[in-house]
Amino acid sequence: MVRPKYQEHPSGFPPPGIDWCSFGITEEGGDAIGGERHFGEGEGRNVASVHEPFTVLVSFYGRNSRANAKKLRLGLAVAQNREYLYRHEMAFVEAGTSIHVPEVLGELWNDRWDIQLAFRRRIAAEYPVLNVLKTPVSLKAESGLEVKNDF
């Protein structure tokens, strides 16, 4: 079972011993790497994009919580498993250290392992930046020669 970590109206927890996980974005932004490109077809447009880092905290619960955290880490090392991310302009960067954090849920101790995953995603925005169709240009040389033209 997989659940969002931060819910506006959380439902009850599964019984102890049941394997499940929760996940949520805990950080985003930071040193985004960006650029801008002009496309001249039609009237013109610019596309500005950044590759924004973000971190996901995944918490595994249940008897197999430690093994499931390891499976996630190893699964992200397989290129085929990352293919879906690439198709949606995201990339897996790294997995942090797994941390054992037992937690009391419903007055009972539950085994829990946390792992942080770092990703990057491309965010793009398009702006109507019109092409320069013509502009008057005047060049004057030191010799006094002057050239005027419309480009």
CA Rg, the chain, in Å? Answer: 26
Q: Summarize pLDDT for 36-88 with one digit per residue, the tens.
A: 999 999 999 999 999 999 999 999 999 999 999 999 999 999 999 999 999 99
- Domain locations in the chain as residue ranges: 2-150
Which pTM value belongs to this model?
Answer: 0.75
Q: Summarize pLDDT for 80-94 with one digit per residue, the tens.
A: 999 999 999 999 999
